[in-house]
Amino acid sequence: MATQEGSGDRLNSLLAFVSDVLASYSKLDMSRRQYVLLIFLPTFSVFLLSIAAAIVLQIPTTAKIPIPLLGLLVWVSGLLYPKLYVTQKRTEIEDKFHLGMTHLTILSTTNIDRVEVFRRLAAEEEYGALADELGQVVGLVDTWNQSIDDACRRRAKEVPSEVMSDLYERLAFTLEAGEELKEFMLDEQDFIIENYQTIYEGQLANLEVMEDLYISMILSMTFGLVFAIVLPILTGVNPTVTVSAVIGLFFLVQVAFFFVIRNIAPYDPVWY
């Protein structure tokens, strides 16, 4: 019974992940044709070339196996690129969220139009993806003549960050009810601070998990290197090939961990 429940949970998690990946394709800042030409086809070509190289090269089978696996990794990275892109964009928004919303609160206390508040914040390049997102709201108001609450409600369905989506929903409801932007943002300050603390502590916890995983991977690579040295003695295979394969795999693991840790680590710049 427990095994069936565990299998069901894993299947649900897999289906949810696939659904997220498919949904991320519609959130790319490029057309699907550009994605196919610039990312999918090049990565798929690398995969096919790796298979051809493994067939053509006259090397032992143990040394051939990593070649198509490397090509497969490149192709899978291309398939998951939209998901990685959306995740990175969400991280950038949430990293600057507390700063941007504090700035928005300060601007809301001045005697300027609320659309101008969004416009000024969208012009701040240091907020990166958050400024771009607020610029989307300004664009809907200026280009499509939507009200600020309708623009926020529409962006709440498209923004990749749940935190930003929730803020848009509450802001749209509040403005539609006739409350001032200043009053809403002042009331939101406690929530913004608590949310930032929760996200920051969660990222630190994820970083600790990655630390343990990194140590385990380093130990595995060490055993792999020992195996690569001993295997030629037992089979007569050229040791240069096996050792080079393990070193290449070790390099790829280091690069992968660098990018993963870079995305997981909390945004904490030095301000002095």
Report if residue 97 sits inside a domain: yes
Report if residue 172 sits inside a domain: yes
Contact between residue 186 and residue 107 where contact means Cβ atoms under 8 Å apart = no
Residue 192's nearest CA partner among 128, 124, 121, 96 is 96
Report if residue 65 sits inside a domain: no
Report if residue 109 sits inside a domain: yes
> What SS3 class is residue 102?
helix
Contacts of 122 (CB under 8 A, 6+ apart): 131, 132, 134, 135, 137, 138
Residue 262 burial (C-beta neighbours within 10 Å; 0-12, 13-18, 19+)? exposed
Report if residue 114 sits inside a domain: yes
Structure-block tokens of residue 221: 């690579």
Q: Which domain holds residue 181?
A: 87-189
What is the total count of domains within the chain? 1
Report if residue 219 sits inside a domain: no
Report if residue 10 sits inside a domain: no
Contact between residue 39 and residue 81 where contact means Cβ atoms under 8 Å apart = yes
Report if residue 100 sits inside a domain: yes
pLDDT in tens, the chain (272 residues): 555 655 667 778 778 888 888 888 888 888 889 999 999 999 999 999 999 988 888 777 766 777 888 889 889 999 999 988 998 898 889 888 988 999 999 999 988 899 999 999 999 998 999 999 999 999 999 999 999 999 999 999 999 998 899 999 999 999 999 888 999 999 888 888 888 888 888 888 888 888 888 899 889 888 888 888 887 887 777 788 778 878 888 888 888 888 888 878 887 776 55
